[in-house]
Amino acid sequence: MRLPSSLTTRLALAYGLATAAILASVAAYLSSALSAQLEGRDESELVGEVLLVRHLLREVRSEAEIRADTHRFADIAMGHEGLILVVRTRQGEPLVTLNPRNEIVPPLRVLPATTQPEKGMLQTWRPKNGVPSRGIAALGQLGDSDKAVEIVVLRDAGYRVALIREYRHQLLWATLCGAAVAAGLGFALARRALRPLRRMAADAAAVTTSRLATRLDVGSAPAELRELAAALNDMLARLQDSFSRLSEFSADLAHDFRTPISNLIGQTQVTLAQSRKTAEYEALLESNLEEYERLARMIENMLFLARADHAQVALDVRTLDAREELDKMAEYFEAVAADREVVLTVSGSAPVEADQTLLRRAVTNLLDNALRHAPAGSTVRVDVARAPTAAGTGTGTSIRVSNPGPAIPPETLPHIFGRFYRADPSRRNSAASTGLGLAIVDTIMRLHGGSVTVRSVDGLTVFTLQFPAEPMPVPIAPAAIS
Let me know whether 294 and 334 are in one domain: no
Measured CA to CA, the distance from residue 363 to residue 331 in angstroms comes to 13
DSSP, res 148: E
Banded model confidence at residue 419, pLDDT cuts 50, 70, 90: low
Q: Which residue has the higher pLDDT, 112 or 273?
A: 112
CB-based contacts of 137, cutoff 8 Å, min separation 6: 108, 109, 110, 111, 123, 150, 151, 152, 153
Model confidence pLDDT, tens digit, residues 316-337:
888 999 999 999 999 999 988 9
Say what the pLDDT of residue 429 is. Answer: 42
Say what the pLDDT of residue 380 is. Answer: 94
Measured CA to CA, the distance from residue 46 to residue 155 in angstroms comes to 7
Measured CA to CA, the distance from residue 469 to residue 350 in angstroms comes to 11
- CATH number for the domain including 86? 3.30.450
**Residue 139 main-chain phi, psi, to 5 deg:** -90, 150
Q: List the single range of 83-97, 238-252, 345-359 with lowest mean pLDDT.
A: 238-252
Decide if 325 contacts 363 (C-beta within 8 A). Answer: yes
Does residue 433 form part of some domain? yes
Decide if 326 contacts 346 (C-beta within 8 A). Answer: yes
Let me know whether 267 and 364 are in one domain: no
Determine the 3-state secondary structure of 132 from DSSP: coil
Alpha-carbon torsion angle 412, 415, 421, 422, nearest 10? 20
Measured CA to CA, the distance from residue 421 to residue 438 in angstroms comes to 9
Model confidence pLDDT, tens digit, residues 397-413:
999 999 998 888 888 88
Does residue 215 form part of some domain? no
Question: Measuring CA to CA, which residue among 466, 440, 467, 450 is closest to residue 309?
Answer: 440
**Residue 66 main-chain phi, psi, to 5 deg:** -65, -45
Instruction: Identify the domain boundary among 273, 308, 343.
Output: 308
Let me know whether 280 and 255 are in one domain: yes
Say what the pLDDT of residue 379 is. Answer: 93
Does residue 182 form part of some domain? no
Q: Which residue has the higher pLDDT, 60 or 225?
A: 60
Task: State the DSSP H helix or E strand holding residue 440, giving kind and residue range, or none if neither.
Answer: helix 437-447
Let me know whether 297 and 319 are in one domain: no
Using CB atoms within 10 Å of the CB of residue 264, give its burial: 0 to 12 exposed, 13 to 18 middle, 19+ buried: middle
Let me know whether 276 and 411 are in one domain: no
In this predicted structure, the answer to whether residue 426 has a pLDDT above a threshold of 50 is no
Model confidence pLDDT, tens digit, residues 108-126:
999 998 899 999 999 999 9
Question: Measuring CA to CA, which residue among 89, 78, 61, 68 is closest to residue 152?
Answer: 89
DSSP, res 466: E
Let me know whether 408 and 369 are in one domain: yes
Let me know whether 364 and 277 are in one domain: no
Does residue 102 form part of some domain? yes
The two beta strands, 133-141 and 110-111, are parallel
Does residue 189 form part of some domain? no
Let me know whether 338 and 384 are in one domain: yes
Does residue 160 form part of some domain? yes
- CATH number for the domain including 263? 1.10.287
**Residue 206 main-chain phi, psi, to 5 deg:** -80, -10
Say what the pLDDT of residue 477 is. Answer: 44
% of the chain at pLDDT higher than 70? 88
Does residue 280 form part of some domain? yes
Let me know whether 331 and 431 are in one domain: yes
Let me know whether 94 and 44 are in one domain: yes
Extended strands (E) in 295-448: 317-321, 343-348, 351-355, 379-388, 395-404
Determine the 3-state secondary structure of 83 from DSSP: strand
% of the chain at pLDDT higher than 90? 34
**How many other C-beta atoms lie within 10 A of the C-beta of residue 93?**
10
CB-based contacts of 24, cutoff 8 Å, min separation 6: 175
Instruction: Identify the domain boundary among 164, 192, 214.
Output: 164
Does residue 200 form part of some domain? no
**How many other C-beta atoms lie within 10 A of the C-beta of residue 328?**
12
In this predicted structure, the answer to whether residue 145 has a pLDDT above a threshold of 70 is yes
**How many other C-beta atoms lie within 10 A of the C-beta of residue 176?**
14
- What is the average pLDDT value for the chain, to the nearest integer? 83
Most confident listed range (67-71, 185-189, 376-380): 376-380
State the total domains in the chain: 3
Range of the domain at 131: 7-164
Let me know whether 300 and 415 are in one domain: no
Determine the 3-state secondary structure of 423 from DSSP: coil
In this predicted structure, the answer to whether residue 86 has a pLDDT above a threshold of 80 is yes
CB-based contacts of 227, cutoff 8 Å, min separation 6: none
Measured CA to CA, the distance from residue 236 to residue 214 in angstroms comes to 8
Model confidence pLDDT, tens digit, residues 333-377:
998 899 999 999 999 999 999 888 889 989 999 999 899 889 999
Say what the pLDDT of residue 462 is. Answer: 94
How far are the Cα atoms of 32, 196, 225, 311 from residue 199, in angstroms, in the given order? 49, 5, 12, 40
Decide if 312 contacts 478 (C-beta within 8 A). Answer: no
Measured CA to CA, the distance from residue 241 to residue 235 in angstroms comes to 10
- Terminal CA-to-CA distance of the chain, rounded, Å? 45
Let me know whether 264 and 350 are in one domain: no
Banded model confidence at residue 475, pLDDT cuts 50, 70, 90: very low
In this predicted structure, the answer to whether residue 134 has a pLDDT above a threshold of 90 is yes
Instruction: Identify the domain boundary among 261, 276, 308.
Output: 308
In this predicted structure, the answer to whether residue 427 has a pLDDT above a threshold of 50 is no
Decide if 86 contacts 104 (C-beta within 8 A). Answer: no
- CATH number for the domain including 383? 3.30.565.10
Residue 162 C-beta-side C-alpha neighbours within 13 Å: 8
In this predicted structure, the answer to whether residue 17 has a pLDDT above a threshold of 70 is yes
Question: Measuring CA to CA, which residue among 285, 261, 259, 257 is closest to residue 271?
Answer: 285
Q: Which residue has the higher pLDDT, 299 or 34?
A: 34
